[in-house]
Amino acid sequence: SRSYTVTLLPGDGIGPEVISVAKNALQLVASQEGVDFKFKEMPMGGAALDLTGVPLPEETLSAAKDSDAVLLGAIGGYKWDNNEKHLKPETGLLQIRAGLKVFANLRPATVLPQLVDASTLKKEVADGVDLMVVRELTGGIYFGKPRGFGTNENGEEIGFNTEVYATYEIDRIARVAFETARKRRGKLCSVDKANVLEASMLWRKRVTELASEYPDVELSHMYVDNAAMQLIRNPKQFDTIVTNNIFGDILSDEASMITGSIGMLASASLGESGPGLFEPIHGSAPDIAGQDKANPLATVLSAAMLLKYGLGEEKAAQRIEAAVLDTLDRGYRTGDIYSAGLKLVGCKEMGEEVLKSI
C-alpha cells in the first residue's frame, strides 16, 4: 500500500484543535483508499519559542523536509507580539517557507452556495465567486536584501527593505499560474504596479513573454490598486490571479473576506520538488483558543489540498471535499458561519460530523 510521512505542525492558538480534526479526517480516508500515513508532530511558532527558544527549531525543519507533505495549523499570539524580529512566530513561518522552497502559494477563494449569506457583499455580487490567487511566496520584499535599520545622509534613523525579483523567480511562479489557469477557466490576471515600480515592470515583461507558451490562456494585467477595487466591484470577473509576495498577501486576504467565511479557506504552498506546505488561511485566533469554538473546515480542506497537490491522491482529496459539503448540507455550522435555523456545533463535533460524512 502507498505510504506517506506527513509532518503536523499544530502551532499556536486554535492550531492544535483544528489539526487534530484534520488528522482524523486524513486517517479515515487513508484507510478507505488503502493508503498508509505516518504522522510526525513537531513544534513551531510560539509553541516552539516557549519550548526551544526559536520559532522554527532545526529538528522541525528537517522533519518537514524529510516528509512527503507538511500540514500547519496556525501560528502567533499576543504573547509573542512584541518579541524581536528573529523571535517572532511569523519569522518561523517565513523560515519554513524559505526552507522548503515553496515559492507558489495557491489560495482558492470560493463562495459556497451554502454560505453565500456569510459574505458582506450583496448576494448577486458574491454568488458564484470562484477564484484562485497564485502568490509568489519566497521572494520580493519579504526576503529582499539589503534590509534593516540605518541612518540617512542627515543622520536620521531609517528602516528599509528591498523589493526585488529575478527573471527565474517570475518565470517559475508565472508558469504555475498559467498551468493553474489552464486547469480552471483559462483566464489569468497578473497584478502588479508596473506604472511605478521597476520590479513590477520586469514582472509584467516576463509574464507577457511567457504567455506565448500558453495560447489557450487569456492573459490580462491589472494594477494592484485597481485589483483591490475590482475584487469588491465585481469579483466574478476573476478566475486566476498571479502576483508578488506582498500584493498577494493583501489581495488574497481581501479575496478571502469576500467569501465571508475565512474559516473555510485552505491554501497550498508548493516548490519545484520536495514536500508542500498546507495550511488554513486563517490565523491562530488566540481569543477563542482552547474553547472548542474554532472552525476546523479550513484545515480539513487544507488536508484535501495536501492529498491532491502534495501527494497526487485525487480520490482521497475528493472524498474529503465532498464530506465537507455534505456536513454543511446537513446543517452543521461553527459559530463563525452560523445563521439562524442551523445546527451550531463546536470544533470537535464538527470534526465528528465530517468523519460521518466521509
Ligand X SMILES: CC(C)[C@H](C(=O)O)[C@@H](O)C(=O)O
Task: Please report, as ranges, the residues that interact with its own copies according to CB under 8 A.
Answer: 85, 88, 90, 94, 120-122, 125, 141-142, 144, 147-149, 152, 154, 156-168, 193, 195-203, 224-226, 228-234, 246-247, 249-254, 256-258, 262
Give the whole-angstrom CA distance, residue 73 versus residue 90.
13
- Strands 276-280 and 266-270 come out as antiparallel
**Three cell numbers written together for 142:** 519579504
Letter for the amino acid at 173? I
Of 4, 23, 192, 193, which one is the catalytic site residue? 193
Interface with ligand X, residue 196, by CB under 6 A: yes
Contact residues for 119 (Cβ-Cβ < 8 A; gap 6+): 111, 126, 258, 259, 260, 261
Nearer to its own copies, 144 or 186 (CB): 144
The number of residues in the chain equals: 358
Bridge partner list, 280: 266
Instruction: Specify the residue, 16 or 280, whose C-beta has the smaller distance to ligand X.
Output: 280
Give 144 or 335: the residue with its C-beta nearer to its own copies: 144
282 binds, among ligand X, its own copies, none (CB under 5 to 8 A by kind): none
- Smaller CB separation from its own copies, 38 or 233: 233
Contact 274, 327 (CB under 8 A): no
- The DSSP letter of residue 286 is G
Retrieve residue 144's grid coordinates: 529582499
Number of residues interacting with ligand X: please give it, by CB under 6 A.
6
Q: Which does 19 bind (CB under 5 to 8 A by kind): ligand X, its own copies, none?
A: none
Q: Is 249 a catalytic residue?
A: yes
* Residue 243 C-beta-side C-alpha neighbours within 13 Å: 26
Residue 145 interacting partner from ligand X, its own copies, none (CB closer than 5 to 8 Å by kind): none
Residue type, 142: Y
Catalytic residue among 249, 308, 309, 332: 249
Q: Which of the residues 127, 253, 292, 326 is marked catalytic?
A: 253
Show which residues are catalytic: 142, 193, 225, 249, 253
- Residues in the site for ligand X, rule: CB under 6 A? 90, 93, 195-196, 225, 249
